[in-house]
Amino acid sequence: MKTAIEPAKNTSWPLMIADFKEITKARLAISVVFSSIAGYLLGAFEISFVSLLLLAFGGYCMVGASNVFNQIIEKDLDALMNRTNNSPIPSGRMSVNSAFTIAIIMTILGLVSLYFLNPKTAMFGAISIFLYTSVYTPLKTITPLSVFVGALPGAIPFMLGWVAATNEFGIEPGTLFMIQFFWQFPHFWALAWMLDEDYKKGGFKMLPTGKKDKGTALQIIMYTIWMMVISVVPAFGITGRLQLSIPAAVIVFLMGAVMLFFAFKLFEKRDNVSARKLMLASVSYITLVQIVYVLDKFI
């Protein structure tokens, strides 16, 4: 009886809110919402604040639900890693049943919110949560190709905003998808490089060669170059309504060059300090690129 009562004694609203933010990975979810709003602003003929609220709420729910499902599936592996062993489920602060209830409610609320925008938005939201939970998560302990699979749902938010605004899928949202798709490889592999030892404790195979070697660093460089190319394609007038002025394209290209510089530094030094610098540069890059795209449309 003692172990059953103790968690109730420690339960408080601030702790529950903190655990909710942790299990839904609030910072990641908010960054995804930011991407989807940027995509919406790029696609919208007229801005509807109701639509923005539905997109933000639905987007948070879908990402949050994906993260909760992920942590339910990986609860035993998370307990083995330093970065996750104190998270709500492995630490015992939240039961699997409670987490599952949260995930189901957030999935339903997310899909309904996105459906109110239009059916295509809800469909892409459903595809995202399915790929992340049912394909990416199980593959993480089997093959490094899981990162490729995980990049698919990870690239949907920027695109999703455009679809939410237009109810159309074409070259414009496809280009937004490709920008975020190629960006994820240098971003995630830099993070995986830093956390390689911890990931190996959980049996996760995240680096493309399985090692912190020149092969992995070279792949990071190649995907960064592809990201830079795709990011400036709208300046050539071949992506429909998605356009980019020459000055904005130069800015975007230079920001990509900063990432490429840190990617080469990682190739040269192959240490965690270089990986961290690349990871931080990648976070700044994707946020600033989306801001530049939006500002370029409205200025």
Does one domain contain both 260 and 275? yes
- Assigned domain for 106 exists: yes
d(CA 226, CA 44): 27
Q: What Cα–Cα distance (Å) separates residue 250 from each residue in 89, 202, 233? A: 46, 42, 11
Mark which of 127, 142, 168 sits at the end of a domain: 168
pLDDT of residue 242: 96
Return the CATH number at 56: 1.10.357.140
Does one domain contain both 135 and 187? no
Q: What Cα–Cα distance (Å) separates residue 222 from each residue in 172, 189, 202, 219? A: 24, 12, 28, 5
**Number of domains making up the chain:** 2
Does one domain contain both 66 and 121? yes
pLDDT of residue 11: 61
Does one domain contain both 54 and 193? no
d(CA 155, CA 137): 16
CB burial readout 126-151, b (16+ within 10 A) else e: bebbebbbeebbebbeeebebbebbb
Read off the tokens for 77. 């592996």
Backbone angles phi, psi at 242, to 5 degrees: -80, 105
The helix/strand/coil state of 53 is helix
pLDDT of residue 59: 95
Does one domain contain both 164 and 174? no
pLDDT of residue 85: 87
pLDDT of residue 167: 92
- Assigned domain for 278 exists: yes
- Assigned domain for 2 exists: no
Domain limits for position 234? 170-299
CB burial readout 29-60, b (16+ within 10 A) else e: beebbbbbbbbbbbbbeeeeeebbebbbbbbb
Does one domain contain both 83 and 100? yes
- Assigned domain for 282 exists: yes
pLDDT of residue 257: 98
Does one domain contain both 174 and 129? no
pLDDT in tens, the chain (299 residues): 333 333 434 568 888 888 899 999 999 999 999 999 999 999 999 999 999 999 999 999 999 999 999 999 999 998 989 888 889 999 888 899 999 999 999 999 999 999 999 999 999 999 999 999 999 999 999 999 999 999 999 999 999 999 999 999 999 999 999 999 999 999 999 999 999 999 999 899 999 999 999 999 999 999 999 999 999 999 999 999 999 999 999 999 999 999 999 999 999 999 999 999 999 999 999 999 999 999 999 98
Mark which of 115, 135, 168 sits at the end of a domain: 168
Does one domain contain both 226 and 290? yes
Backbone angles phi, psi at 73, to 5 degrees: -65, -40
Half-sphere exposure of 155 (CA within 13 A, CB side): 21
The amino acid at 223: Y
Mark which of 139, 168, 197 sits at the end of a domain: 168
pLDDT of residue 2: 38
